Amino acid sequence: MVADLGAVEALVFDMFGTVVDWRTSVASGVEPFLDEYLSEADPHEFADLWRAEYQPSMERVRSGSRPFVRLDVLHRENLETVIERFGVDPRAISDDVLEEVNLCWHRLDPWPDAVAGLARLKQRHIIAPLSNANVRLALDVAKRAGLPWDAILGAEVAAAYKPDPAAYLRTAEILGLDPEQVMMVAAHNSDLAAAARVGLRTAFVRRPTEHGPGQTVDLVPEGPWDVVAEDFEDLADQLTR
Amino acid sequence: MVADLGAVEALVFDMFGTVVDWRTSVASGVEPFLDEYLSEADPHEFADLWRAEYQPSMERVRSGSRPFVRLDVLHRENLETVIERFGVDPRAISDDVLEEVNLCWHRLDPWPDAVAGLARLKQRHIIAPLSNANVRLALDVAKRAGLPWDAILGAEVAAAYKPDPAAYLRTAEILGLDPEQVMMVAAHNSDLAAAARVGLRTAFVRRPTEHGPGQTVDLVPEGPWDVVAEDFEDLADQLTR
CB–CB contact A156 B134 (8 Å): no
Residues of A in contact with B176 (CB under 8 A): 72, 134, 136
* pLDDT-derived band at B165, boundaries 50, 70, 90: very high
Assign residue B87 a region (left: φ > 0; alpha: ψ between -120 and 50; beta: otherwise).
left
Selected residue of A135, A143, A144, A147 to mutate for chain B interface (largest B Cβ count, 10 A): A135
In the predicted model, is pLDDT for residue B36 greater than 80? yes
- Confidence (pLDDT) at A214: 94
CA–CA gap between residue B192 and residue A122 (Å, rounded): 34
CA–CA gap between residue B116 and residue B146 (Å, rounded): 10
A173 shares contact with chain B (CB less than 8 Å) = no
Q: Note the ipTM here.
A: 0.96
Partners of B11 in the β-ladder: B127, B183
CB–CB contact A135 B175 (8 Å): yes
Q: What domains can you pick out in chain B, each with its CATH number?
A: 2-21+109-239 (3.40.50.1000), 23-106 (1.10.150.240)
Tell me the percentage of chain B whose pLDDT exceeds 70. Answer: 99
In the predicted model, is pLDDT for residue B1 greater than 50? no
A153 shares contact with chain B (CB less than 8 Å) = yes
A45, A136 contact by CB (below 8 A): no
A79, A90 contact by CB (below 8 A): yes
Nearest chain B Cα distance for residue A6, angstroms: 19
A155, A179 contact by CB (below 8 A): no
Residue of chain B whose alpha carbon sits nearest to that of A72: B176
Segment A203-212 mean pLDDT: 98
Segment B80-106 mean pLDDT: 97
Residue A119: CB atoms within 10 A of its CB come to 15
Residue A147: CB atoms within 10 A of its CB come to 22
SS3 B10: strand
Residue of chain B whose alpha carbon sits nearest to that of A156: B174
pLDDT tens for A141-198 read: 999 999 999 999 999 999 999 999 999 999 999 999 999 999 999 999 999 999 999 9
Segment B23-40 mean pLDDT: 97
CA angle, A201 then A202 then A206, to 5° = 165
CB–CB contact B135 A174 (8 Å): yes
CB–CB contact B150 A135 (8 Å): no
CA–CA gap between residue B113 and residue B109 (Å, rounded): 11
pLDDT tens for A60-87 read: 999 999 999 999 999 999 999 999 999 9
CA–CA gap between residue B39 and residue A153 (Å, rounded): 42
- Confidence (pLDDT) at A115: 98
Residues of A in contact with B72 (CB under 8 A): 176
A146 shares contact with chain B (CB less than 8 Å) = no
Distances (CA, A) of B32 to A118, B25, B35, B81, B109: 36, 13, 5, 19, 18
Identify the CA nearest to B207 among candidates B48, B67, B77, B21.
Answer: B21
Identify the CA nearest to A85 among candidates A35, A139, A37, A49.
Answer: A49
Instruction: Report residue A228: phi and psi, to 5°.
Output: -125, 125
- Confidence (pLDDT) at B241: 76
Identify the CA nearest to A70 among candidates A9, A19, A26, A133.
Answer: A133
SS3 B228: strand
- SS3 breakdown of chain A: % helix, strand, coil, rounded to 5? 50, 10, 40
Write out the E strands in chain A.
10-13, 126-131, 153-154, 182-186, 201-205, 227-229
| Strand A201-205 with A182-186, pairing | parallel
Write out the E strands in chain B.
10-13, 126-131, 153-154, 182-186, 201-205, 227-229
The mean predicted confidence, pLDDT, of chain B is 97
Across the beta sheet with A182-186, the strand order is: A153-154, A126-131, A10-13, A182-186, A201-205, A227-229
CA–CA gap between residue B133 and residue B153 (Å, rounded): 9
In the predicted model, is pLDDT for residue B2 greater than 60? no
CB–CB contact B139 A152 (8 Å): no
Tell me the percentage of chain B whose pLDDT exceeds 90. Answer: 97
CA–CA gap between residue B25 and residue B47 (Å, rounded): 9
Residues of B in contact with A175 (CB under 8 A): 135-136, 139
Residues of A in contact with B136 (CB under 8 A): 174-176
Residues of A in contact with B135 (CB under 8 A): 151, 153, 157, 174-175
Residues 72-101 of A with CB under 8 A from B: 72
